[in-house]
Amino acid sequence: MVIEKICCLGAGYVGGPTCSVIAWKCPDIKVTVCDKSIERINQWNSDKLPIYEPGLDEVVKECRGKNLFFSTDIANSIQEADLIFISVNTPTKTIGNGKGRAADLKYIEGAARMIADLATSNKIVVEKSTVPVKAAEIIMKILRANTKPGVEYQILSNPEFLAEGTAIVDLVESERVLIGGEDTPEGQKAVQALCWVYEHWIPAKNILTTNTWSSELSKLAANAFLAQRISSINSLSAVCEATGADVSEVARAVGRDSRIGPKFLEASIGFGGSCFQKDILNLIYLSECLNLPEVAAYWQQVVSFNDYQKNRFTRKVIESLFNTVSDKKIAILGFSFKKNTGDTRESPAICVSKTLLDEGAKLHIYDPKVETDQIYYELTHPQVTNEPEVARKNIEIHSSAYSAVTGAHAIVLCTEWDEFKELDFKKIYNVMMKPAYIFDGRKILDHEALINIGFHVQTIGKRLSRTSSIRAQGSQTLP
Ligand code: UDX
Ligand code: UDX
Ligand code: ADP
């Protein structure tokens, strides 16, 4: 089976970059990315794309209008496509059964019903959104219960492993592509058709094929393992701060063991992003449904520890500022959940900012890529505060780090943007209130140099002399 036309439902962080790279690497395939949001599609068709991703602009510019199209004409795109990716959003449910843990599959279901309504020829439907195990079964049930005569569906699971901020490189140089399908001749034919698409640029040895459920579970498992590493190193960061060990040194030593490996051992203020927490919560919910409470409890701890780490850091900020931040001006540097993205979903900066706002602080926020409205949205929507107007009054968004820090009592660095390393901290010290504090939630600054300038500095996983001597005197002697 040859794929000539691909349609993608959902032009978000996953669908947009993935299909742009497919179009770029497969000039013989027409790729149409659809979204029900006209605004989103207009942005994809403009000079300012709706998401910031290094390298994405260039790829889109090269292919758009040739074999890459962004469209709201979902009906036509579905009808002409041989293969349809579903990459719609799958937020955690906020109401009803499984609230706060289970994935809300209403958009997946909506997409499947749309395909069932509109398709007039055979389709390979590929689940690309991160979804709970057995979501493919739901899609299959909807499609097969509503199928028209002469129309047949094959459903594949093809989870996306790209990380934001490195999406284009991750897609172009994928370590692995995972494709799960039904163990029937038709199912295997569909798997081979999708393999053929990827083989345009991915070596065949990097393409793994499994059954559908293994593929779905592997995506949750990969994210759960990655998040677990971060919670593990973050737990040790607390031990380091209490003992005098340096978490970076510990990570370097531990990571040298090839069985462990050096990546993803960066202690931090806590992990964020749209996937880690959501996927672990999915895994927890799945385990509970399968009557495996011990498994659920094991993974719950990874999420709970992340909340602890975010709160621990914020508590440190407040305690250092004489236990009150009321009416104090605090500069928040970085608001996205990691560098090189404008995405704020589950960003630890939200948790830090919210607690400081609750304590009466005045926040001056700067992020190189997050839109002003997005920051206001994250800190004033009803799930975060009952008093959006009060919060709004205490937030000011800045267009440069220098303007955000002027007159501040403290700088709280929440995202590891490279430009923060290049700031002129002597200049910054001179325009801040004294004593001037810096809380480096990402361990990226030159702490020694900052202390020499006169700052009080605190970071994650390392005790720094000037601020820690009193604390050290009071700490318990280990047995
Ligand atoms: C993640 C997975 O990496 C990707 O494979 C999957 O497809 C989607 O989820 P993403 O959320 O975009 O990607 O970013 P990632 O680089 O994994 O970072 C997630 C969070 O963990 C960020 O907040 C990051 O700052 C934090 N992190 C990461 C750490 O705190 N320490 C680390 O060592 C690595
Ligand atoms: C371990 C460490 O590997 C070693 O670096 C350290 O110095 C001492 O502790 P050891 O206990 O001798 O070494 O053996 P190891 O190979 O690590 O196995 C420990 C246990 O884990 C065994 O029971 C093994 O069967 C089990 N294991 C190991 C698994 O169940 N799954 C695995 O993937 C690996
Ligand atoms: P992700 O990070 O998983 O890509 P996003 O929220 O960035 O998630 O993108 C998902 C996109 O899917 C949104 O732009 C949303 O409007 C779109 N969407 C949801 N349901 C449908 C649908 N049935 N058809 C087309 N687009 C949809």
Tell me the C-alpha distance between 454 and 429, whole Å.
8
Name 134's Cβ contacts closer than 8 Å, sequence gap at least 6. 213, 216
The binding site for NAD(+) consists of 10-15, 35, 40, 88-92, 129-130, 164, 275-278, 345
- Catalytic residue check, 275: yes
Residues whose beta carbon lies within 6 Å of some atom of ligand 3: 9-15, 34-37, 40, 74, 87-89, 107, 110-111, 114, 129, 274
Cβ of 129 less than 6 Å from ligand 1: no
Mode of pairing for the β-strands spanning 83-86 and 207-211:
unpaired
Q: Following DSSP, what letter does each residue of 244-291 receive, concatenated?
A: S--HHHHHHHHHTSTTT-STT----S---SSSHHHHHHHHHHHHHHTT
Ligand 3 atom at shortest distance from the alpha carbon of 10: 12
Cβ of 362 less than 6 Å from ligand 1: no
How much distance in Å is there from the Cα of 222 to the middle of ligand 2?
A: 22
CB atoms within 10 A of CB 309: 26
Mode of pairing for the β-strands spanning 68-71 and 30-34:
parallel
Considering the entire predicted model, what is its pTM? 0.94
Active-site option among 8, 34, 63, 275: 275
> pLDDT (tens digit, 0 to 9) for every residue of the chain, 479 residues total?
789 999 999 999 999 999 999 999 999 999 999 999 999 999 999 999 999 999 999 999 999 999 999 999 999 999 999 999 999 999 888 898 888 888 899 999 999 999 999 999 999 999 998 788 888 999 999 999 998 888 999 999 999 999 999 999 999 999 999 999 999 999 999 999 999 999 999 999 999 999 999 999 999 999 999 999 999 999 999 999 999 999 999 999 999 999 999 999 999 999 999 999 999 999 999 999 999 999 999 999 999 999 999 999 999 999 999 999 999 999 999 999 999 999 999 999 999 999 999 999 999 999 999 999 999 999 999 888 888 888 899 999 999 999 999 999 999 999 999 999 999 999 999 999 999 999 999 999 999 999 999 999 999 999 997 544 444 444 444 54
Tell me the C-alpha distance between 105 and 273, whole Å.
19
Cβ of 11 less than 6 Å from ligand 1: no
Shortest-distance ligand to the CA of residue 107 = 3
How much distance in Å is there from the Cα of 300 to the middle of ligand 2?
A: 25
How much distance in Å is there from the Cα of 221 to the middle of ligand 3?
A: 23
